[in-house]
Amino acid sequence: MDTSVLPPESTVYLPQLGEGVDQVTVTRWLKAPGDAIEVDEPLLEVATDKVDTEIASTHAGVLAEILVQEEETVEIGAALAVVASSEGAAPDTVVATPKPQVPAPQPVPAAVLPPRQDAPHLSAASETTIEPTPSPAATPKADSTEKLSPVRRTIARRMMESLQISAQLTTVLEVDLSAIARLRSEHKDDFLAHTGVKLSFLPFFARAALDVLPEHRMLNASLNEDVTEVIYHGNCHLGIAVEGPKGLMVPVIRNAGNLGIAQLAQSIAAAAARVRNAAITVEELNGGTFTITNTGSRGALFDTPIINQPQTAILGTGAVVERVVPVRAPESPLRIEVRPMAYLSVSYDHRIVDGADAAKFLTAMKQRLESGYSAADLIG
């Protein structure tokens, strides 16, 4: 189709999808040529560096031509499709092909079958010998090859780039969560009724990190590409790693330092729901200054997470498990107790963060968590 003879308004263009998004990959067309389309009806799906999203039609009519094929990468502003006026356009006629009728099998006359040695042992209804079917375990499974999704390819590229760009190390420390566990046990029902979300350990980890980050500003910072300047962020825009149906994504909670435990719990739950429902936007994935990945949600004791560039650190929170630990209180004999314990790990960019800095940050987090929070902290 010669698009030059069509009015400009009949062409659907790729809109701006967020700061820093210059190009996308077309992953799937939701309409085919000849299909009727309404304004704002999803027309195709595209993948950016961070998220998949739908592009809606800006015009009503009939999809006349697709200009960009699946798996093709285009720049913002590119023409995607041509929508023709539905006036006078007849929809494509689909003729159903009748399913061929397969004649029912006819019984084979006994006279044409070879004599059977075991005929007395067969039922009267049997006419043929049934061969044994091999068990599924005996049948080898064939290899399968699948293309990586655009999001998965982006994750792979960004992880390799992160390791190549910065000098990354990980420090691990163990924390006693007895005080936090007691508080959760006493108030989890009221918290759920008040906020609508469950009270997990994650908002406590987030709040503790936010409490101590101002004194360890090199972990809430960004280096420029030339490694000549560092930005120490005045506020913490907290990224939370979330596993979604299309891969790992990191929605950002803006100005998280201003939020209490209840608000953090609600914000984390809402962001995670948007990722898992494929409703997250590009804007919600940009601008993070510090990230937490809760590997303990899948039972991992600790991890060595990869930094989300250009940030300088990422905190990993391990599973909370009961362990036998020695306890020595002042002026008291040594005793053995079972306590809820967890490992905290922080991967950091050694170009700007020293090992002592990472250890001091984790130690400050440990002290904050072990000193505990109060019921009043759960209200705000």
Listed residue (321, 341, 356) closest to 171, CA to CA: 356
Q: Given this model, what pLDDT does residue 147 score?
A: 82
| 350 included as an active-site residue | yes
Q: Given this model, what pLDDT does residue 191 score?
A: 96
Distance CA 270, CA 272 (A): 5
Question: What integer best gives the mean pLDDT of the chain?
Answer: 85
Q: Given this model, what pLDDT does residue 123 score?
A: 43
Of 41, 65, 84, which one is at a domain's C-terminal end? 84
Q: Given this model, what pLDDT does residue 53 score?
A: 83
Name the stretches of the chain with pLDDT < 50: 1, 3-8, 88-115, 117-128
Q: Are residues 283 and 167 in the same domain?
A: yes
Q: Are residues 80 and 156 in the same domain?
A: no
Number of domains in the chain: 2
Q: Given this model, what pLDDT does residue 124 score?
A: 40
Q: Given this model, what pLDDT does residue 310 score?
A: 92
CB proximity list for 365: less than 8 A, separation 6 or greater: 173, 175, 205, 208, 209, 212, 344
Q: Are residues 56 and 182 in the same domain?
A: no
Q: Given this model, what pLDDT does residue 113 score?
A: 43
Does the residue 67 lie in any domain? yes
CB proximity list for 165: less than 8 A, separation 6 or greater: 309
| 237 included as an active-site residue | no
CA within 13 Å, CB half, 111: 0
- What is the domain-level CATH number for residue 228? 3.30.559.10
pTM of the predicted structure, to 2 decimals: 0.73
Distance of CA 234 to the CA centre of its chain: 28
Select which of 22, 189, 190, 354 is catalytic.
Answer: 354
DSSP state letter for 314? E
Q: Given this model, what pLDDT does residue 115 score?
A: 47
Select which of 35, 187, 211, 350 is catalytic.
Answer: 350
Of 84, 107, 139, which one is at a domain's C-terminal end? 84
Of 41, 58, 84, which one is at a domain's C-terminal end? 84
Distance CA 160, CA 115 (A): 71
Q: Given this model, what pLDDT does residue 378 score?
A: 92
Does the residue 124 lie in any domain? no
